[in-house]
């Protein structure tokens, strides 16, 4: 399904509700009364949520959010439901969720304990790791190699916070540059304004694959953290969270996730028809078998030393 910035999409017209009516409070009540659900979408989080060459929003997370939309529509007994798309950035996604502007955030957002103080998350839909992208000619292999260099990360991300903490604790003397979004951050490395970009490995790999010279870049083997992604929703809205959890858990346990995952990670995707060739990780396979919305990194994989240091500091 192609989705533009301003398009209102009619989802599932003519659906006849067969399920019992949901408890209509909070977000569910708002959706039923307005006939609209608002999705927060991203411009450059390939392949999760991004604009293609026709300025249409699409991606893995958007497909998953549309599964939630269809499920909620049936639960509320609506014959149709308008889907409004609202662009968000790493810096604005939580405020826009908290103030009621968006109902679901369909991007590449890490579920962690700090964020759970402000928002809630659906069961995890991807597991990634924070790593370093640089040009091969820079010979950057690890965090230690960034000492005294200019490094970029995206504003409002856990990656930027972690890099800032590690820089201070280890006295690395890194000149950290915040970028407004992932595309701008990658461009800074591409043009030489930064020597490296610290971000989730799948996003780094996607940006490099879609760049002018993919072979010029490499992503570090060293992982700085474990990052479980989840679709974000408002905190303290138990009926809506139950509806969202039910929809995502069904996608995971029914096997439908395999089709959606293959579409975005194992086959050519717009805008350039590039196949990311990113097989499902063992960590995510475990989530598919047993869905969880845990924000603890240790629930997914062994926690890297760099992340342990940051988590210890927060306690």
Q: Are residues 11 and 114 in the same domain?
A: yes
Do 234 and 246 have their domain in common?
yes
Q: Are 104 and 40 in contact (CB under 8 A)?
A: yes
CA 194 to chain CA mean position, Å: 24
- β-partners of residue 104 are 39
Please indicate, yes or no, whether residues 12 and 77 belong to a single structural domain of this protein.
Answer: yes
Q: How far apart are CA 222 and CA 224, in angstroms?
A: 7
- Whether residues 262 and 211 share a domain: the answer is no
Q: pLDDT tens digits, residue range 171-200? A: 999 999 999 999 999 999 999 999 999 999
Q: Is residue 289 one of the residues assigned to a domain?
A: no
Q: What is the domain extent for residue 93?
A: 3-125+230-280
pTM confidence score: 0.89
Token duo for residue 109: 């957002």
The first and second tokens of residue 52, run together, are: 């293609």
Q: Give a yes or no: residue 303 inside a domain.
A: no
What's the distance, CA 176 to chain centroid? Answer: 22
The DSSP symbol for 193 reads S
Can you tell me the distance from the alpha carbon of 69 to that of 76, in angstroms, rounded to the nearest whole number? 11
Give how many domains the chain has, as a whole number. Answer: 2
pLDDT at 5 over 50: no
Cβ-proximal residues to 258 (8 Å cutoff; 6+ apart), any chain? none
**Domain shared by 185 and 255, yes or no:** no
Instruction: Report pLDDT digits (tens) over 114-145.
Output: 999 999 999 999 999 999 999 999 999 999 99
Does residue 9 form part of some domain? yes
Residue-wise pLDDT tens digits, 38-82 = 999 999 999 999 999 999 999 999 999 999 999 999 999 999 999
Are 255 and 120 within one domain?
Answer: yes
Question: Is residue 288 in a domain?
Answer: no
**One domain for residues 17 and 119:** yes
Which of 224, 247, 272 lies at the terminal end of a domain, its last residue? 224
What CATH number is given to the structural domain containing 211?
3.40.190.10
Asked whether residue 302 is assigned to any structural domain, the reply reads: no
């Amino acid at each position: 399904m192609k989705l533009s910035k301003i398009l209102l999409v009619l989802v599932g017209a003519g659906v006849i509700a067969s399920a019992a009516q949901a408890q209509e409070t909070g977000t569910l009540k708002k959706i039923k009364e307005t006939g609209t659900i608002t999705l927060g979408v991203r411009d450059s989080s390939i392949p999760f949520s991004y604009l293609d060459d026709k300025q249409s929003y699409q991606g893995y997370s958007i497909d998953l959010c549309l599964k939630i939309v269809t499920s909620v529509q049936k639960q509320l007994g609506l014959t149709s439901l308008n889907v409004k798309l609202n662009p968000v950035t790493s810096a604005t996604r939580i405020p826009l969720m908290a103030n009621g502007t968006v109902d679901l955030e369909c991007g590449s957002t890490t579920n962690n304990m700090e964020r759970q103080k402000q928002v809630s998350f659906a069961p995890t839909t991807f597991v990634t790791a924070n790593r370093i992208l640089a040009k091969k000619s820079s010979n950057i292999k690890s965090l230690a190699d960034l000492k005294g260099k200019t490094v970029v990360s995206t504003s409002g991300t856990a990656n930027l916070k972690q890099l800032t903490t590690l820089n201070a604790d280890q006295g690395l003397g890194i000149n950290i540059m915040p970028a407004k979004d992932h595309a701008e951050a990658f461009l800074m490395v591409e043009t030489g304004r930064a020597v490296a970009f610290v971000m989730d490995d799948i996003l780094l790999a996607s940006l490099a694959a879609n760049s002018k010279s993919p072979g010029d870049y490499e992503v570090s083997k060293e992982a700085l953290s474990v990052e479980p992604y989840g679709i974000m929703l408002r905190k303290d809205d138990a009926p809506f969270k139950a509806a969202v959890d039910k929809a995502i858990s069904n996608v995971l346990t029914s096997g439908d996730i395999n089709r959606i995952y293959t579409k975005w990670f194992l086959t050519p995707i717009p805008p350039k028809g590039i196949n990311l060739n990113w097989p499902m990780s063992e960590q995510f396979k475990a989530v598919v078998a047993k869905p969880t919305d845990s924000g603890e990194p240790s629930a997914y994989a062994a926690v890297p030393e760099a992340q342990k240091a940051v988590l210890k500091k927060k306690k």
